[in-house]
Amino acid sequence: MTAAQPVSPASPVSPPGGLAGAPAGKPAGFGHLLLSEWTKIRSVRSTVWALILFVVVTIGFTVLVTALITSNWNSGGGGGGQGGHERIIADPAAFLMGAGVGLGQLTICVLGALLITTEYSTGVIRASLLAVPRRTPMLVAKAIVFAGLILVLAEIVCFSSFFAGSAILHSRVPVSLGDPGVARAVFGTGLYLTVLGLLALAVGTLIRHTAGAIATVIGVVLVLPILSGLLPRSWGAHINAYLPQQAGSLISHARQQPADLLSPWQGFGVLCLWTALLLAAGIYLLKRRDA
Amino acid sequence: MIEARDLTKLYSGKAAVDHLSFTVRPGRVTGFLGPNGAGKSTTMRLILGLDWPNTGVATINGQRYEELANPLRTVGALLEAKSVHGGRSAANHLLFLAQSQGLPSSRVNEVLDLVGLREVADKRAGTFSLGMSQRLGIAAAMLGDPQVLLLDEPVNGLDPEGVLWIRNLLKYLAGQGRTVLVSSHLMNEMAVTADHLIVIGRGKLIADSATQDVIARSSEQSVRVRTPDAPRLTGLIEAEGGKVSLVAESPMAETGSGAAASGLPASGFLASEITGGPRTLTVTGMPAPRIGELAASASVVLHELSLQLASLEEAFMELTSGSLEFGEHSAPAPAADAAAAAADQGHR
């Protein structure tokens, strides 16, 4: 790759404040790209606000919903409807991991989409692609940095939610991290949020416009499961089981329920497959389209 | 060195750039001139690998842009459209670019000093004035100390001070042996900045020659000279074959443009008529630098020495209006365009 940096015969003199001993010709590695994408993420306020919102909403709603249900336990069903109590008793971990994450996941979706669509809306994409004209490494670096950030934060949030929620729920349904499948469900929920964020990033790369991308991701997460519920029962259930969000969130269940077509890890695998497909499509179009 | 070979770019069947070929050489400022919509920005985007050409190839130092290992170290670009996140500080914008190229972060402050933005480095770029934004764009372009610079309409919307700063910077960088391609739709600006001009209209090449040659094509080319010692200067210029006429010293003619400026032709008449006081002359048949040299060698004071702006614009209009007619007649049939576009889609 040294040939990729031809030194002009009339080697130019450096401008005032020229490159002080920077090794010309040595190509920047992928690590530099990761650093660059990290700088991009941390230097914009909207990222920070979305992450704060994610933490507050997820932990806050876990505590709020759990407290409401626990305190109204004897006054009939709480907020969970008729079968609410049985569902909580059958899999308290799944309840705790759904209580706040259900809303908190939307902030991750929005952030994932914004990460790339704001590059288009502000024009930074041009600067980004001038710096990385092969394009794919830029998106891959962005995805890795984003996934790393969300994974760390989501695990902290999920375990915090679990400990806070289980402490409140303890008087009604005792559950601990040591129970079978619970640790995997809590840790898996962090994984689920991370991959969901990547799915949103992929959708953002495909659609490029903020409003359209966010609407699409929210549609996939919230609306598709409802629509598939309207389909005839026999195949509606199968379609529903393989939707990205429905399949992926199975990982937050401590154990497979009789009604579940997929095991927790199978479901998570389906979400990963969706995400990989959409990312591949995003990379294909990113390379192909005019910036 | 930038080379464009047979570049074509179709937007919904219409050619924005039409089989364009040219070479931009190092060591001089090359002006990329054309009216708005002529395809200048598109051509630059094709060179920079942001858009894909339908035909042809553009190379920088022999390589396509996307083949460059650390492109910002070879090529610096200022695009006309903004490419900065308004919520990000100038320093962070430059930092992520520097990091992507493996450049030391100290380079950020160096380029901020170069463009005079050090004091607002931590301010959000969205708060910047147009001039500051342009300077930030220049800073980004200079980040990798590149040998090749592409600047799209860098003086657009700048105040005179900013225009002068960019003009001098470009000349300075070209003087260091770098390749500098700068686009503009203003002939006047290019006449004083560029050593060489590539003129396009409707995506087609109209002219590719030294700036003075392009200007010389103008039938009305003239130089406006103001001096307190008009008789001596007139004699010197006429001795070298230049033609001198006196600009009427009426308030109406102060602008020195149009028919008023070309009045009173007879030189003999002039020599006797001009007695004292500053006079404004119009010189034809001699380039401005030569007039300046003559004046300097004879120690004649000059108060003004300028190319007649109106005539430069005329030269430009003449060139590009010709292209418009040419374009009308030679435009390919829409069907052919569509077929080409379809073939390209398949190819990609």
Q: Which domain holds residue A229?
A: 31-288
State the Cα torsion A148-A149-A153-A158 to the nearest 10°: -40
Q: Indicate whether this complex's ipTM tops 0.90.
A: no
Domain presence at residue A194: yes
Which residues 8-47 on chain B approach chain A with CB closer than 8 angstroms? 26-27, 45
Percent of all residues in chain B with a pLDDT value above 90, rounded to a whole number: 50
| 3-state DSSP of chain B | CEEEEEEEEEECCEEEEEEEEEEECCCEEEEEECCCCCCHHHHHHHHCCCCCCCEEEEEECCECHHHCCCHHHHEEEECCCCCCCCCCEHHHHHHHHHHHCCCCCHHHHHHHHHHCCHHHCCCEHHHCCHHHHHHHHHHHHHCCCCCEEEEECCCCCCCHHHHHHHHHHHHHHHHCCCEEEEEECCHHHHHHHCCEEEEEECCEEEEEEEHHHHHHCCCCCCEEEEECCHHHHHHHHHHCCCEEEECCCCHHHCCCCHHHHCCCCCHHHHHHHCCCCCEEEEEECCCHHHHHHHHHHCCCCCCEEEECHHHHHHHHHHHHHHHHHHHHHHCCCHHHHHHHHHHHHHHC
State yes or no: pLDDT of B66 exceeds 90. Answer: yes
Domain presence at residue A18: no
State yes or no: pLDDT of B156 exceeds 50. Answer: yes
pLDDT confidence of residue B309: 57
State yes or no: pLDDT of B39 exceeds 80. Answer: yes
Q: Is 0.95 surpassed by the pTM of this model?
A: no
Higher pLDDT, B319 or B331: B319
Higher pLDDT, A98 or B309: A98
Domain presence at residue A144: yes
- Interchain proximity A5–B176, CB inside 8 Å: no
pLDDT band at B345 (very low <50, low <70, confident <90, very high): very low
- Note whether A44 contacts B: Cβ–Cβ < 8 A: yes
Between CA B215 and CA B224, with CA B219 as vertex, the angle to 5 degrees is 70
Domain presence at residue A9: no
pLDDT band at B315 (very low <50, low <70, confident <90, very high): low
Q: Give the total number of structural domains in chain A.
A: 1
CA distance A19 to chain B (A): 7
Lowest average pLDDT, out of B1-10, B148-157, B258-267, goes to B258-267
The whole-chain average pLDDT of chain B stands at: 82
pLDDT confidence of residue A23: 46
> Which among A2, A7, A8 is the top mutation candidate for probing chain B, defined by the most B β-carbons within 10 Å of its own β-carbon?
A8
Domain presence at residue A240: yes
- Note whether A69 contacts B: Cβ–Cβ < 8 A: no
Which residues 180-209 on chain A approach chain B with CB closer than 8 angstroms? none
State yes or no: pLDDT of B310 exceeds 80. Answer: no
Give me the domains of chain B, ranges plus CATH numbers. Answer: 2-217 (3.40.50.300), 223-307 (no CATH)
State yes or no: pLDDT of B189 exceeds 60. Answer: yes
Residue numbers of chain A with a pLDDT score lower than 50: 1-23, 77-80
pLDDT confidence of residue A2: 36
pLDDT confidence of residue A126: 96
